Structure 1
Amino acid sequence: MLDARRHATSQPSPPLRMSATRLDLRLDQMSGAAQRWPRLVLVLLCLALFLPGFFSIPATDRDESRFAQATRQMVETGDYVHIRVGEEERNKKPVGIHWAQAASVHLLEATGLADRSDIWAYRLPSLLGAILAVLATFQFGRGLVGRRAAMLGAAMLAGCMVLMVEAHIAKTDAALLASVTAAMGLFGLAYLRPGSFSARQAAAFWVILGLGVLLKGPIAPMVPLLTGLTLAITDRRRGGPWLHAPWLGALRLSWGLPLMLAIVLPWMIAIGIATEGRFFSQAIGGDMLGKVGSGDEKHWGPPGFYLLTFLVAAFPAGFLVLLALRQSWAERGQPAIRFLIAWVVPTWLVFEAVATKLPHYTLPTYPALMMLGAAWALDPLRTEPPRWLRWLARLAVAGVALGLAAVAVALPWFVTGHEPLGALLALPAALLLIWLTWREMGRAHWARAAAVAVVAALPIYVSVMQLTFPRIEAIWIAPRIEALLARAAPGLPSEKFGITGHAEPSTLFHVGGGLQLLRRGEDAAIFLTADAGRVVAVGDRAEADFRREAARLGLRLEEMGSVDGLNYTRGRRVTLRFYRVATP
C-alpha cells in the first residue's frame, strides 16, 4: 500500500473556494458525483466516449473484417472449432474472441436488435471489454493507489484514444485488456497482502488468464509472468535467495496452472486435430515469430516507437504519466508503486524489441501507467515538474487535439473534395479542450486538468467518429458493392460473384463468404464462363486484360454499373466495373 499521504485530499483553500468561477463550481459538483457513484459514472463516461461511430462506421479493413467474417462463418456453419475466412484457414489467433462475437450475434438475433450482417453485433465484445477494463482499473486500483486516484486513473484510461479506437473494432485487443487488467489487479492484491489472498481470488486469477490465452495466446500470461520475475528479483533481500516471491504461494500455482490449462487445452487439442497441427505451426511459426523478427504486414517501427507515440495514443490525459515518471521512479521502494512499475517496464521493453509495432500493442500496460499518473496528481506532497516538462505536456495536448481536428477536415477534403459539416466542429472542440486543460495546468491542478481533458475530448470524438468518418462515402467501397448487387442482381448467391482488383476482407463480410477473389483480369473472364448468372467486378487495372480474354472467349458482356473510391489500406483509388454475360 502507499503511505497515508496518498489518501489525503487536496481540497482548495477557503479563499480559493470563495473566488471560484461558476465553471469551477460545476467541476466540483461533477467530481462529487463521480465519487458518490464511481462505477455508474465510469460506465456512462465509457458509453459517451465509445458509442459515437460504433453503429455507423462500416466494417473496416483489414483485421476487423477478417475477425467478423470468420465469426460469421462459424455462426452460419455451426463449426466453432475451425477459424476460416472464405475458404482460407485463419490460423493466427485463438478462438476466444470468435466465441464471444458469436454469442453476441446469437443474443442480438434472438432479441431482434440486430442480425449477423450488422458489423456492430461483432463489435459488442470489444465495447464490453473496454468498459470492463476501465471498471477493473477502478476496482483493483483502490487497493494500489487509493479510491480517488483509482477513479481518476480509470477515467484517464477510458479517454485514451487508442482504447476508444479499439472499442470500435471487432477484434481481440479491448477484450484482452479487460482480462489482463483484472488478472493484474488480482496479482497486485496477492503481492501486497499475500496472507489475506483467498483461494477464490486465486482461482479467479487463473480462470481470467485462461480466458486471456483463448483471446490472444501468450500475451495474457506474459504480462504477469514478466511482472512476477521482475518483482522476484528486485524484492530479494541482501544475502537471501536470488529470487524472493512470497506472493507465489498466495496464487496457488500448484493447482492454479492446471486450472488455466483445463480452460485452454480442450480447444487447443480440438484445433490441433482438426487442422493436423497447421494451426500451431502457422500461429507460432508464421504469425507470432514473424512479428518478432520482421515488420508483419509492413507494420515496422524502430525501438522507442511506443515512447514517441505514447502521448498520441494516450490522448487526452496521458500527459499526467509523463509528469509523474520521475517521482514514481524515486518512490519505487513503496510496494504498490514497485508493482505498477514492474507491470509496465518489462512488458513495454518486450514490445519495443519486437519488430512489428502497432499503437495498441502496449495497451496492457496502460492501466498501470494511468494509475501512476493519477497517484502523482492527487498526492498533496508531489514534486512539481520542471517548467520545460510542463510546457511539453501543454504542447502535446494542443498538438494532438489540433492534429485530430486537422485530420477531420483534411481527410474528407482529400478524398471527396469537400468536408462534412461535422468535420468543421472538430476545430472549435479542439480549441475548447486546449483552453480548459491549459487553464487547469496553469494552476497546477493536475488531476482536474486530466479529468477536464477526458470530458472535453467527447465533442472531438463525436466530430471525428460519428459526424465525419462514417460520412466519407468514397472509402466505404464494400457497402456500395453490396448495394449495387442488391439493386442489379437481387438474390445473387455469393458463390456466383467474383472480384478482381479489390481483394479486401470487408467485401467478404458484406457480400458473403462464398465470394470468389480472382487474381487477374483473365481469371474474371474465365469465371463468367463457368456457370450461368455469374457476375464479376473488375478493377480498372485489370480491365484491359479482362476485356481481351472475354473477347477471346467470345463473351458478350453486359455492364451493370460501377463503384469507385479510395482503397485506404493501399492508399490508391480504384474503380470497379460490374459485368455479366448478356442474355441472348
Structure 2
Amino acid sequence: MSTLALRTDRWISGVSARAQAWPRLALVLLCLALFLPGFFVTPATDRDESRFSQATRQMVETGDYIHIRVGDEERNKKPVGIHWAQAASVHLLEATGLGTRRDIWAYRIPSLLGAILAVLATFQFGRVLVGRRAALLAGAMLAGCMVVMVEAHIAKTDAALLATITAAMGLFGAAYLQPGQFTARHAAAFWVILGIGVLLKGPIAPMVPLLAGITLVVSDRGAPWFRALRLHWGLPLMLLMVLPWMVAIGLATEGRFFTQAIGDDMLGKVGSGDEKHWGPPGFYLLSFLIAAFPAGFLVVLAATTAWAQRRQPVTRFLLAWIVPTWLVFEAVATKLPHYTMPTYPALMLLGAVWAMDPLRREPPRWLIRAMKGAVAGVAFGIGIVALAVPWFVTRHEPLGALLALPFAALLTWLVWREMSRAAWARAAVLGVVAAIPLYASIMQLTFPRIEALWIAPRLEAVLAREAPGLDPAQFGITSHAEPSTLFHIGGALRLLRRGEDAARFLAERPGRVVAVGNRALDDFNREAAAQGITPRLIGEVAGFNYTRGRPITLSLFKVTTP
C-alpha cells in the first residue's frame, strides 16, 4: 500500500472515531454539507414548490391560516401542516431580519429541518434496533440519498413527512421489541407525531405503522405490543390535533376540501398517473439505486441476508416497515421517486446491519460487479446530465458542469477501492462524503446558473425596471401559467388563456402590462388592432419551460398613450 493510501486510511479512521464520539453533531454537519449547496441560490421551482410556497405566502399576507389558495384558486389537495410550518419560518426570519417572504429559501427551512431530523431520528431510534455503530452508518447513508438531498431543497411536504414517519416508526419499533418498557410518555409522543404527520400529508403517516402492524400481527400470530401503544387514548389524542382544522376547512369550503383532496387528488393518484407521473409496477425497484445513490448498493447486497433472517425480531420489524408500504406505492398508478422515501430509514438500517456484521455472508462476485457498475453508472450519469442539460438549453457550460465528471470519477474510485477490500461500511461512508462535492457542483454551481430555466425572476426584473411599483393585479400573462410566476410577481396577477385575452386585458385600463408568449403573438396583435390600441414592447424574456419541455419567449407590452 502506498504512503498516500496509508495516510488516507489513517485520516479516515480518525474522522470515523470523532464521528462515533459525537454522532449527532457529525450527522448534522454531514447533512448541512450535503443539503446547503444550492439551498439559498436556486430560484423557486415549478410546479409543486411554487404552489406550496405561494399558498403559504398568501396566508402570511392575508392572515387567513385556514384556507389554502394559490392566486384566486382554492388548493384543496394537501392538509395545512406544511403551510403553518413555512409561515412560522417566514415570520421568524422576518422578525430577526434574516430573510423575507419574498425569499424562496425561507419556505424551504421546514424541508431542510425535516431531512436533518429524519437522519437524526434514524440514528436515535436505530440505536435501540440495531446498535449505535450501525445506526450511525444508517443515518449517514440516509443523509446521502439523492432523493433526500433533493427533497431537502424543495419547499413542500415530503422531507418533513419523512421526519415524522421515521420518529413514529422508531417509537413503534421500541414498543414492538420492548413493550414492557414502552411508557405512556412514549405512547403520547407516538400519537402526537402521527397527528403532525396527518396535518402534513393526510393518511400517509398513519398508513405506514398501520400496514407494519397488520404485517406483524399476521407474521407473529399475535400482538403483545398492541397494549403498549395505548390506542384507547392515543387515537383520540391524534384526532384532537387534527380535527379542529379539518372542521374549520370543511366549513370554510363547504366540504369541497374533502371532495377534492380525497376524491380528486388521492384517489386520482391511485387509479391513473396524476399530472403524467405514471410508472409501471417495479418502477421503484428499478430506480432505487438512483434515488438511494451513493450508498444504496449496501441495501441490495444485504437483501438476501435480511430475508434469511426475517424471523429475528429486529429484521422482521424492519421488513414489516418496508414491504407493505413499498407494495402499496408500487400498486399506485402515479409514481414519483420520493413516494417510497418513508421506507428508506428502514432500508438503510438493514444495509448498515449487514455491513457492520463481522460474520456476514459475503455476496457473490457477480452482484458485487453489478453494484460497482451501478455506482459508476449513476455517478457518471449525474455528470453527463450536468453537461448535457446546460448545453441543450443554453449552448454553454457553467463551471459546475465541468467539475461534475471529475467528482463522479473520484467518488467511483473511492467506493470501488473499498468494495474490492470488502470494506462495505467504509465504502458507503466514503461514497456519501464524496457525494458532497458532486452534489455541490450540480446544486450550487450548475442548476441555479442555467439562466434560461429561471423565467419568473427575469420577468420580475423587467417589471421592476420598466414598470416600477406595478400592482400585480395590473399585470397579465399568457402562455406561461406557471406557479413560480405567481410567487415572484404576486398572487393577484391575471393568468390569461389566449393572445386575444391579453389584448383585451391591456385595453381595459391604462397602466397595465402584459407578457405574451411567442405562440400567442399573432392573435395578440390582431386583437390589439381591433381594440384600437398600440402596444409598446418594453422587454423580452427568452427561456426554456422545463415543465413543458419547450423554449418560450415572452414579450412584455404597455399601451402607448397619445
The reply to whether TM is greater than 0.5 is: yes
Instruction: Find the aligned partners of 2:3 and 2:458 in 1 and give their Cα distance.
Output: 59
Tell me the CA shift for residue 18 of structure 1. 12
1:427-506 pair list within 5 angstroms:
427-506=405-484
Equivalent residue number for residue 324 of structure 2? 346
4+ aligned runs moved over 6 Å, structure 1: 16-20
For structure 2, the residue ranges without an aligned partner over 5 or more in a row are none
Equivalent residue number for residue 271 of structure 1? 249
Instruction: Find the aligned partners of 1:473 and 1:123 in 2 and give their Cα distance.
Output: 21
Tell me the CA shift for residue 556 of structure 1. 1.3
Please tell me whether residue 513 in structure 1 is matched to residue 498 in structure 2: no
Equivalent residue number for residue 90 of structure 1? 75
Distance 1:85 1:235, change over 3 A: same
Q: What is the percentage of aligned positions where both structures have the same residue?
A: 76
Tell me the CA shift for residue 17 of structure 1. 13
| Letter of the 1:177 counterpart | L
Question: TM-score of the superposition, structure 2-length normalised?
Answer: 0.99
> Which of 396, 402, 422 is matched with 2:400 structurally?
422
Equivalent residue number for residue 530 of structure 1? 508
Equivalent residue number for residue 170 of structure 1? 155
Instruction: Find the aligned partners of 1:465 and 1:90 in 2 and give their Cα distance.
Output: 29
Instruction: Find the aligned partners of 2:158 and 2:4 in 1 and give their Cα distance.
Output: 46
1:247-396 pair list within 5 angstroms:
247-396=225-374
Secondary structure, counterpart of 1:272 in structure 2:
helix
Tell me the CA shift for residue 509 of structure 1. 0.1
Secondary structure, counterpart of 1:487 in structure 2:
helix
- Post-superposition Cα deviations, 1:500-526, rounded to whole Å, max 9, x if no partner, equal 010000000000000100000000011
Equivalent residue number for residue 23 of structure 1? 8
- Post-superposition Cα deviations, 1:364-413, rounded to whole Å, max 9, x if no partner, equal 00000000000000000101001111011101100000000111111111
Secondary structure, counterpart of 2:226 in structure 1:
helix
> Which of 146, 156, 160 is matched with 2:141 structurally?
156
Tell me the CA shift for residue 19 of structure 1. 11
Please tell me whether residue 35 in structure 1 is matched to residue 20 in structure 2: yes
1:550-565 pair list within 5 angstroms:
550-565=528-543
Equivalent residue number for residue 240 of structure 1? none
> Which of 85, 92, 109 is matched with 1:107 structurally?
92
Distance 1:17 1:406, change over 3 A: closer
- Post-superposition Cα deviations, 1:516-560, rounded to whole Å, max 9, x if no partner, equal 000000000110122221000000010000100000111111111
Instruction: Find the aligned partners of 1:189 and 1:95 in 2 and give their Cα distance.
Output: 30
Instruction: Find the aligned partners of 1:575 and 1:427 in 2 and give their Cα distance.
Output: 32
Instruction: Find the aligned partners of 1:497 and 1:190 in 2 and give their Cα distance.
Output: 57
Please tell me whether residue 219 in structure 1 is matched to residue 217 in structure 2: no
> Which of 103, 106, 114 is matched with 1:118 structurally?
103
Secondary structure, counterpart of 1:355 in structure 2:
coil
- Post-superposition Cα deviations, 1:436-474, rounded to whole Å, max 9, x if no partner, equal 100000000000000000000011001000000000000
Instruction: Find the aligned partners of 2:393 and 2:527 in 1 and give their Cα distance.
Output: 33
Secondary structure, counterpart of 1:55 in structure 2:
coil
1:534-545 pair list within 5 angstroms:
534-545=512-523
Instruction: Find the aligned partners of 1:413 and 1:544 in 2 and give their Cα distance.
Output: 30
Equivalent residue number for residue 397 of structure 1? 375
| Letter of the 1:343 counterpart | W
Count of matched residue pairs: 562
Equivalent residue number for residue 11 of structure 1? none
Instruction: Find the aligned partners of 1:201 and 1:392 in 2 and give their Cα distance.
Output: 43
Instruction: Find the aligned partners of 2:411 and 2:2 in 1 and give their Cα distance.
Output: 23
Equivalent residue number for residue 42 of structure 2? 57
Secondary structure, counterpart of 1:576 in structure 2:
strand
Tell me the CA shift for residue 118 of structure 1. 0.1
Equivalent residue number for residue 124 of structure 2? 139
| Letter of the 2:107 counterpart | Y
Instruction: Find the aligned partners of 1:411 and 1:440 in 2 and give their Cα distance.
Output: 32
Instruction: Find the aligned partners of 1:182 and 1:113 in 2 and give their Cα distance.
Output: 30
Instruction: Find the aligned partners of 1:91 and 1:531 in 2 and give their Cα distance.
Output: 33
Please tell me whether residue 73 in structure 1 is matched to residue 58 in structure 2: yes
| Letter of the 2:438 counterpart | I
Secondary structure, counterpart of 2:99 in structure 1:
coil
Secondary structure, counterpart of 1:333 in structure 2:
coil
Instruction: Find the aligned partners of 1:422 and 1:223 in 2 and give their Cα distance.
Output: 39
Instruction: Find the aligned partners of 1:18 and 1:510 in 2 and give their Cα distance.
Output: 54
Tell me the CA shift for residue 583 of structure 1. 1.5
Instruction: Find the aligned partners of 1:388 and 1:440 in 2 and give their Cα distance.
Output: 17
Instruction: Find the aligned partners of 1:528 and 1:406 in 2 and give their Cα distance.
Output: 45
Tell me the CA shift for residue 568 of structure 1. 0.3
| Letter of the 1:450 counterpart | A
- Post-superposition Cα deviations, 1:125-173, rounded to whole Å, max 9, x if no partner, equal 0000000000000000001111000000000000000000000000000
For structure 1, the residue ranges without an aligned partner over 5 or more in a row are 1-15, 237-243
Instruction: Find the aligned partners of 2:557 and 2:550 in 1 and give their Cα distance.
Output: 23
Kindly report the root-mean-square deviation, in angstroms, between the aligned alpha carbons of the 2 structures. 1.1
| Letter of the 2:247 counterpart | I
Instruction: Find the aligned partners of 2:388 and 2:332 in 1 and give their Cα distance.
Output: 33
